[in-house]
Amino acid sequence: MITLIDDAMLDALCAEAAASPRRRKNRNFHPTDAHPGHRLLNAMQQDSYIPPHRHLDANKDETFVVLRGTLGVLLLDDEGKVLQAVKVGAGGTAIGVDIPHGAWHTAVALVDDTVFLEAKAGPYLPPAAEEKPPWAPAENSAGAAAYLAGMKALFA
């Protein structure tokens, strides 16, 4: 049976994201974390913080296509300096990005109820220590809100 991605699905996912302590919510289309192909919707609110990270597995390039709202995507160097900051949004001239494996990156929702389709290879494994940078605060840490504000300011 075909799964329809429609406004009702996006509305429900955005409501779940707004109610979540993390202020974001995934809707997976792959059956398990062990599946070799991960396809999911990610709904985010503006105050959701995704710490910068990288995927060292050579099979884990990552693609985002924005279906609703606007996303700021940042590519960073090994010291946390911004190499590239791009704004992508539904209906805009740039609607998505493809991020190569090994690249430090993160994304920020520039408007509430931003939803993007994410695709990358599975299986899901928790990030290894070398995939989390020492220069960025962890999620829910004391410096996370200020770090997020600094990233969002790049798109103002």
Establish if 56 belongs to a structural domain: yes
Chain segment 85-130, per-residue pLDDT in tens: 999 999 999 999 999 999 999 999 999 999 999 999 999 999 999 9
Establish if 1 belongs to a structural domain: no
Q: Is 106 helix (H, G, I), strand (E, B) or coil?
A: strand
Establish if 72 belongs to a structural domain: yes
The CATH number that applies at residue 113 is 2.60.120.10
In this prediction, residue 107 carries a pLDDT of 99
Q: What is the mean pLDDT of residues 72-84?
A: 99
Establish if 2 belongs to a structural domain: no
Domain count along the chain: 1
In this prediction, residue 62 carries a pLDDT of 98
Interior/surface letters 65-80, b for 16+ CB within 10 angstroms, e for the rest:
bbbbbbbbbbbbeeee
* Residue 125, domain extent: 7-153
Establish if 38 belongs to a structural domain: yes
Establish if 135 belongs to a structural domain: yes
* Cα 38 to Cα 13, 28, 45, 123, distances in angstroms: 18, 8, 22, 8
Chain segment 10-64, per-residue pLDDT in tens: 999 999 999 999 999 999 999 999 999 999 999 999 999 999 999 999 999 999 9
Establish if 62 belongs to a structural domain: yes
